[in-house]
Structure 1
């Protein structure tokens, strides 16, 4: 390990940030697709100012972590997160995940965090579990054609695709009366283009086709589920409402009119609710 990287068992360098008192309770952040730990800037600064230790990493193939060809699966995402947690010896941690990062949190907590006794609470924000894809067992999911379209757009012109997503549905900037924030759009684009096209391409399968029903059922720690009611990318009825029912100790809060990217454009609202849950 260097000051900013953990090396996994398969030799991948995972970039991480670790700010704040080492004896304070750790808050660990897991970012969404195709972004990086920078997407949590507002939350990390907020919790740091409130006396917590804040940790966030770039998923393999994303941000500043190694752009390896393989391992872009929910299982490996969770294992990489555990490598960071073990290296930093984090205990009594609260794990907060957004979108694909919410899937990473669910797999991490169920397979690693709870068995190792290292997790206190979890938060799923606009998260993909239990399953996004429409299947025989999940008939109200989203069709495979939608995700195939993501792959086609990414392969054809990733730079344009990564501008169109934040300019439109991600933050709800395509809604009437909503003023787009160009800095937010450019920062999303910057984070996405830092990462690997291969990781992003494979990540679409990971976030859309991974069934995390059993992960959610296995989680015993208190879990907060937060979701915007106008989430155009991860519809609330297919994710948060189902997750809250599958979790053993869940608290659900939804936000009328808020978007998939509410943690950024509505950080003041989200931060207050996150802090209240952590302190509860």
Structure 2
């Protein structure tokens, strides 16, 4: 009797699952709630998660997140621009957030190609692309290689972005020594959870500065986003954001581009980033914020949102 009862339960469960799978996507989404997510599949078969909020006929404002975070890092900006009538889109980079944790493809070429796959699937036109840190590198590669040639980009914004090259080399003596990035890799491999606590509690938001107002919720949210992603993607991503020379990407960008950076950025020093970007861009303008950190898009969202909105509407 017990065996028959178990068999009957299994058959009923299977029948229920089959019935659910036959429902229209919209109804199934209502039943499953947050379980069903919007994703696209890239040419190499990777599932990329994205958010798409607002009127589909409004101008798109697209956000590219930094390492090792997710599209959630843009919450304050997405809600702000949504309230101003824009369509806002953001995706989780492969291996990050809710996107598939694949082993390969954690480099700037794949980052840009994955982003392009999302925007082509949504058929975005006249879009403003905004990237923070590694996401700024993704924006530069995407705009130069995909967005401009396809006529999809109106403007770009680089926020505390990594281009043209973070790594110290003979040709880039102002860069960060390789030993620093090797230290990142070692810390990640040894204890990723602790490493992802130390970064936001310290240099990322400038919470290590004397007199800083520490925001525990911001630290926790950074940790949450980081731990959602895959260790392999994060490990390989260090090489992607530090060793990719994007000089030619910046030179190729012709759309109006706004460069924003804090002069107390301890992660991506502005003199080796923003000040070089503005010299390479054909149609750029730059603003340096006194005393602001790498994570200023979170700690000073109101300030950055207003400046970005003014640039978009100019």
> Do both share a fold (TM > 0.5)?
yes
Cα distance in 2 for residues equivalent to 1:27 and 1:49? 12
Give the alignment's TM-score, normalised by structure 2.
0.88
Does residue 217 of the first structure (1) align with residue 290 of the second (2)? no
SS at match of 2:93: coil
Q: Contact 2:37/2:49 (CA < 8 Å) preserved in 1? A: no
Is 2:151 the counterpart of 1:151? no
1:259 aligns with 2:293: yes
Alignment of 1:122-141 (within 5 A): 122-141=156-175
Give me the whole-angstrom Cα distance separating, in 1, the residues matched to 2:205 and 2:235.
21
Question: How far is the alpha carbon of 1:95 from its aligned partner?
Answer: 0.2
What is the CA–CA distance in structure 1 between the aligned matches of 2:42 and 2:160, rounded to whole Å?
A: 28
Aligned residues: 280
| Offset at residue 3 of structure 1 (A) | 5.6
> What SS is found at the alignment partner of 1:178?
coil
Answering whether residue 40 of structure 2 is matched by residue 27 of structure 1, we say no
Runs of 4+ in 1 over 6 A off after TM superposition: none
CA distance in 1, matches of 2:168, 2:208: 25
The alignment partner of 2:149 has SS state of coil
The answer to whether residue 98 in structure 2 is matched with residue 64 in structure 1 is yes
Provide the residue aligned with 1:237 in structure 2: 271
Greater relative contact order, per chain length (Cα 8 Å cut-off, separation 6+)? 1
Q: 1:186 aligns with which of 207, 217, 220?
A: 220
Determine helix, strand or coil for the equivalent of 1:150.
Answer: helix
Unaligned 5+ runs, structure 2: 1-24, 26-35
Partner of 1:269: 303
> SS in structure 2 opposite 1:128?
coil
- Are 1:82 and 2:126 counterparts? no
> How much has 1:39 moved relative to structure 2?
0.1
1:208 aligns with 2:242: yes
**Between Structure 1 and Structure 2, whose CA radius of gyration is higher?**
2
TM-fit CA distance, 1:61: 0.1
What displacement does 1:139 show? 1.2
Any idea what the Cα deviations from partners look like across 1:62-106, whole Å, max 9, x if unmatched?
000000000000000000000000000000000000000000000
Task: Calculate the TM-score normalised by the size of structure 1.
Answer: 0.99
Measured on the aligned residues, the alpha-carbon RMSD in Å equals 0.9
Q: Tell me how far apart the structure 2 counterparts of residues 24 and 277 of structure 1 sit (CA, whole Å).
A: 17
Aligned twin of 1:40: 74
Q: Which secondary structure state, in structure 2, belongs to the residue aligned with residue 115 of structure 1?
A: helix
CA contact (8 A) 2:250 2:280 kept: yes
User: Structure 1 residue 179: deviation in Å?
Assistant: 1.4
Tell me by how many angstroms 1:137 deviates.
Answer: 1.1
Q: 1:118 aligns with which of 149, 152, 155?
A: 152
Could you give the per-residue CA deviations for residues 221-268 of structure 1, whole angstroms, max 9, x where no partner exists?
000000000000000000000001100000100100000000000001
Q: Deviations over 1:173-221 (max 9, x none)?
A: 0001111100000000000000000000000000000000000000000
